[in-house]
Amino acid sequence: MSAPAPLAGAPPPARPIDDTASTQLVRLVRDVVSLSQPDPVAIARIPGTDDAVLGGELHRIPLTSLVRLWELLARNGRGAGLAVAAAAPLGTLATWDYLVTTGPTLAAALRAAQPYHRLVTAAAEGFALREDDGLTVEFRTTAGDPAVAAVINEYVLAYYLRRAREATGRAVTPARVTFAGPAPREHSALVDAFGTRRIEFGAGADSITFAPDDAHAPLTRADPALAHLLRDHADLVLATARPIPGPLDAFRAALDAALDDGEPALPAVARRLATSPRTLQRRLAAHGTTWRQELDLARHERARVLLAGGRTTAAVAERLGFTDDRALRKASRRWRGVSPTGLHHR
């Protein structure tokens, strides 16, 4: 039996690695940030940036963590993104690096690699390719802060220039570089990095254009068998990679266990996490939530399931730690504006 067709206009289903980044990219940006960040605690607070987590290719880091690292780096101003590209020799981004440098030509390698950009960042960003007068690589970032976007785009365009030089074995000079953002007061660092003054600001896109001779020059790594193996490996990584637990996952698991045991109290949950109630509250606040909000959400979902399973209002109230069924009814009206018996119909 075939699967039902999705509803017209419905968004595509979320995939496990949506809104995540590779460990290699996060490590690269983290290491560059650490060279200029006087407060290492600021980095340590960002989930997924410790060496233990970044050690596996199949771990995926929340995209919010990568964006936070870029925000820290952007404090250094324009040119900060160039330092990231300078710290990324071939192989730094593992499979992705070899995909974009293995093929008969630079243009062919980038075309073949394009569907695998999720290896680096699984987000609504990526690069578009145009082959009219040479080869143009356009990049789109989802970063909302213009200062952060400027640093990211510096890195990305410098990255593709570096890979083009490594792949061709030539001192490639771009035919054109464009930035969507406004021109900085001084951009000699960009001229030095890209090797050209043909840099435009306030353009319609962030892009780098390679001359036809460079785009279609034979690559030193032209190996069809290796390219096939790399794509197979990329498929495997994308199919088996999984996000690391988020910062609230351990807390929510402990809260669920406490609800199961009939002790949904702050001290009890804190004990399960080997911390103090005050420290736990501070951690929740740091992630934009509170004990009361989390308990309310957990009770809401648990009440809906229990009532749908035929439990009485009194039994559910006792199970979830309410003083009585009147307290549950009050919470139900707050949740959905209905009585407890109406919850399981929602």
Please give the model's pTM, rounded to 2 decimal places. Answer: 0.72
Q: 249-343 maps to which CATH number?
A: 1.10.10.60
What would the 3-class secondary structure string for the chain be? CCCCCCCCCCCCCCCCCCCEEEHHHHHHHHHHHHHHCCCHHHHHCCCCCCCCHHHCCCEEEEHHHHHHHHHHHHCCCCCHHHHHHHCCCCCCCCHHHHHCCCCCEHHHHHHHHHHHHHHCEECCCEEEEECCCCEEEEEECCCCCHHHHHHHHHHHHHHHHHHHHHHHCCCCCCCEEECCCCCCCCCHHHHHHHCCCCEECCCCCEEEEECHHHHCCECCCCCHHHHHHHHHHHHHHHHHCEECCCCCHHHHHHHHHHHHCCCCCHHHHHHHCCCCHHHHHHHHHHCCCCHHHHHHHHHHHHHHHHHHCCCCHHHHHHHCCCCCHHHHHHHHHHHHCCCHHHHCCC
- Distance, in Å, from the CA atom of 243 to the CA atom of 257, rounded to the nearest integer, reads 22
Name the residue type at position 290: T
Read off the tokens for 236.
């495997």
Residue 52: the pLDDT is 80
Q: How far is CA 66 from CA 152, 174, 313, in A?
A: 11, 28, 45
In whole angstroms, what is the distance from residue 195 CA to residue 239 CA? 39
Residue with tokens 């306030």: 202
Burial (0-12, 13-18, 19+ Cβ within 10 Å), 89 = exposed
Q: At residue 255, what is the residue type?
A: L
* Sign, CA torsion 212/113/232/89: positive
What is the chain's pLDDT, residue by residue, as a tens digit (346 residues)?
A: 333 333 333 334 446 788 899 999 999 999 999 998 767 888 888 888 888 888 888 999 999 899 999 999 999 888 899 999 999 999 999 999 999 999 999 999 999 999 999 999 988 777 899 998 899 999 988 888 899 999 999 999 999 999 999 999 999 999 999 999 999 888 999 999 999 999 999 998 999 999 999 999 999 888 899 999 999 999 999 999 988 877 787 788 888 888 888 778 899 998 888 889 998 999 899 888 899 888 887 877 777 666 666 666 666 666 666 655 665 566 566 655 544 444 444 4
Question: Which residues sit opposite 127 in a β-bridge?
Answer: 139
Q: Which of 280, 299, 300 is nearest to 290 (CA)?
A: 280
Q: Which two tokens stand for residue 59?
A: 């771990």
140 bridge partner residues: 126
Best CA proximity match to 325, nearest among 346, 307, 344, 345: 307
The CATH architecture that domain 20-240 belongs to is: Alpha-Beta Complex (3.90)
Q: Where are the domains of the chain?
A: 20-240, 249-343
Q: What pLDDT, on a 0 to 100 scale, did the predictor assign at position 155?
A: 98
What is the C-alpha R_g of the chain? 25
Asked if 93 and 25 touch (Cβ cutoff 8 Å), the reply is: yes
Pair 60, 122: CB distance under 8 Å:
yes
| Matching residue, tokens 């340590």 | 44
Q: Please tell me the predicted confidence (pLDDT) of residue 208.
A: 98
Residue 340 has a pLDDT of 47
Cα separation, 320 vs 293, in Å, equals: 15
User: Residue 301 CB: number of other CB atoms within 10 A?
Assistant: 14
Whole-number Å distance between alpha carbons of 32 and 158: 15
CA distance 208 to 177: 5
CA proximity to 214, closest of 255, 176, 268: 176
Report the alpha-carbon distance of residue 63 to residue 148 in Å, rounded.
Answer: 14
